[in-house]
Structure 1
Amino acid sequence: MDKPFLADGQHVVEITDIEEGKSEHKGTPFFACRFENEDGFILQRFYLTKPGMSGILDLCQAVGIEVSEGDQIDTKQLLHKRVAIVVEDRSYEDPETGRERTIKQATAYGKAGSRG
């Protein structure tokens, strides 16, 4: 049986899987990290767009990978890295239905073992 989603709050997790793909709505390229610990997991997409770069740079910095905006990122370097995250709910309007959706997301990436 798969693990449950991580509860809201701070967690130290390992990146146990990475998938690359394109968004269903606009075909925007992304990679998705599975952040996991003994309590559960969360999947988080990182869109390869200008607005998405700050989250990607924060994640890379938190796990000790040096990148600059515009660099190509080898997502395999992220596998099995440990990172501190904050899990929280985020609401947005679904572009296909116009209805509000709420999802869990990982934010506030920090070095594992540090308090952000």
Structure 2
Amino acid sequence: MLFVAVLQLALVLHVRTTLVDAAAEGARLAARADSRAQDGVARTVDLVTSSLSDRYASDVTADTIRRDDVLLAEVTVKAPAPVIGLLGSAGTITVRGHAILEEQ
């Protein structure tokens, strides 16, 4: 049982880390002066589907936010938490990537 719990934790951390990296890369693309928010979404979806699966890239959004008088591109990914076997509930993982907009 302990082995399965450790395996489950490792799988969830792998998925979360991959999603964080993809969201950050999408935000960096969306923040470029020659790009749009949808370019960041498309890049994030491409990275998630090539690294994990299509089901983890079904809810990706991008927006522009203001934090401390700085405009940021924000890419948000909401994905199901992976579950091994029937133990536990699936739940969702929500991650966000940010980058400073070049147009400022």
The structure richer in strand per residue is: 1
With CA pairs under 8 Å and 6+ residues apart, which has the higher RCO, 1 or 2? 2
Higher-Rg member (1/2) = 2
TM-score (normalised: structure 1)? 0.28
The structure richer in helix per residue is: 2
TM-score (normalised: structure 2)? 0.30
